[in-house]
Amino acid sequence: MGHGRTPRDASRRGGPDLARRAGRRGRSLSDDGSPMDDLTLIDLDQPRRGYRKFISCWLRRRGGEAYVVDPGPASTIPHLTSELRRLGVTRLDRILLTHIHLDHGGGAGHLAAAFPEARVVVWEEAARHLVDPQRLWEGSLQVLRDLAPLFGRPLPLPADRIDPPSSLTPLGIRTFHTPGHAPHHQCYLDDGTLFVGEAAGMTCPTRGGAPYLRPATPPRFHLPTALRSLDLLLALEPAPARLAWGHHGLNSEPARFLGAAREQLLTWTATLDGLRATHGPAWTPQLQAAALRRLADVDPWFATFADLEDDLREREADFLRNTLEGMLG
């Protein structure tokens, strides 16, 4: 892959997922996995087999204020609210969204109702879908199929509760428009932590501790746009010290993982282009099976798919269809 070390090498340095031991209860973590005061991962496990160690909601406390990044789906807002209260959060100042897909921002309206002082920050062009989420819901039913009801329906958010990304500038939080996974996707950089959403795909722990990495490319994916976004993140100065993933956890090798995500997009699209000749231009179960076999040979970051726990592998097989359909166009 051209990054000097294989995914397995990372496991000997503390692993890619420093939050793997957090479980469902919120836990503050530093770069080496030890407790810290300002950044807490709250796992949002879903009531379906394999939907654990999957959705990360991040709580950040700074200067007497508190904000969360990606509150997750509506289905787990009661759990999130309970965890925030348990962690001593009585006032939530901001809800930052990397994007509005149900598993990241679907619960924004519900959480804002629970914390009426909270301001919601989202890319301007996506704000209307928070105010009136009907089209977002209908599109989610099409793309996510039976997952949409599992995640729950978004609650409309009053327009006067929404702020643009520029509102974070006085706080020293930098915002970067990173389309690719979604046209309105954005990342946040705060005190060395890059909240990357799904701009770099998703990762999760394996049985052996080596990282698993997969592109997150739902339909309407545009490769050049996604590559430009990753190039933007790779060029940040000063470089971030750690990545806080939407899926899932924390790691302290941002340049390595962002570079791997970029190369992985190129590898996967080239592999699928080669399979079109024999399998046709559209997704089929046969094309997916052939793609998985081939990708396990050419992509060491995806070869660890075989090392996932059984239920996580089943979940990933579900999402691979969306990834492949997006790349196939």
pLDDT digits (tens, 9 = 90+) for 139-150: 999 888 899 999
- Average pLDDT on 19-37 reads 42
Q: Is residue 286 included in any domain, yes or no?
A: yes
First to last CA, the chain: 25
Q: Is residue 52 included in any domain, yes or no?
A: yes
Any idea what the CATH number is for the domain that residue 279 is in?
A: 3.60.15.10
Instruction: Quote the CA–CA distance of 173 and 168 in Å, as a whole number.
Output: 5
Residue identified by tokens 């031991």 is 21
pLDDT per residue as tens digits for the range 263-291: 999 999 999 999 988 888 888 889 989 99
Q: Is residue 1 included in any domain, yes or no?
A: no
Domain count, the chain: 1
- Average pLDDT on 304-321 reads 93
| pLDDT score of 171 | 94
pLDDT per residue as tens digits for the range 118-134: 999 999 999 999 999 99
* Cβ–Cβ < 8 Å for 274, 239: no
The fraction of the chain above a pLDDT of 70, given in percent, is: 89
Provide φ and ψ at 26, rounded to 5°: -60, 145
* Cβ–Cβ < 8 Å for 17, 251: yes
Q: Is residue 2 included in any domain, yes or no?
A: no
Question: Maximum Cα–Cα distance for the chain, whole Å?
Answer: 59
**Closest Cα partner for 24 from 93, 76, 67, 65?**
76
**Closest Cα partner for 291 from 316, 263, 324, 262?**
324
DSSP bridge partners of 300: none
Q: Is residue 283 included in any domain, yes or no?
A: yes
Q: Is residue 16 included in any domain, yes or no?
A: yes
Polymer length of the chain? 329
Q: Who's near 187: CB < 8 A, 6+ residues apart? A: 98, 175, 176, 178, 194, 195, 196, 197, 199, 233
φ/ψ region of 303 (left if φ > 0, alpha if ψ in -120 to 50, else beta) reads alpha
Inform me whether the pLDDT recorded for 16 exceeds 60.
no
**Closest Cα partner for 199 from 229, 228, 175, 160?**
229
DSSP 193-226: EEEEETTT-EEE--TTS--EEE----SS--HHHH
Q: Which helix (DSSP H) or strand (DSSP E) does residue 40 occupy?
A: strand 39-43
DSSP 102-160: HHHHTTHHHHHHHSTT-EEE--GGGHHHHHSTHHHHHHHHHHHTTHHHHH-PPPP--GG
Q: Is residue 82 included in any domain, yes or no?
A: yes
Q: Is residue 261 included in any domain, yes or no?
A: yes
DSSP state for residue 160 in the 8-state scheme = G
DSSP bridge partners of 125: none
| pLDDT score of 202 | 96
Instruction: Quote the CA–CA distance of 229 and 240 in Å, as a whole number.
Output: 15
pLDDT per residue as tens digits for the range 145-198: 899 999 999 999 999 999 999 999 999 999 999 999 999 999 999 999 999 999
Domain of residue 240, residue span: 7-328
Of the pLDDT bands very low, low, confident and very high (cuts 50, 70, 90), residue 26 is low
Tokens found for residue 140 = 């989610």
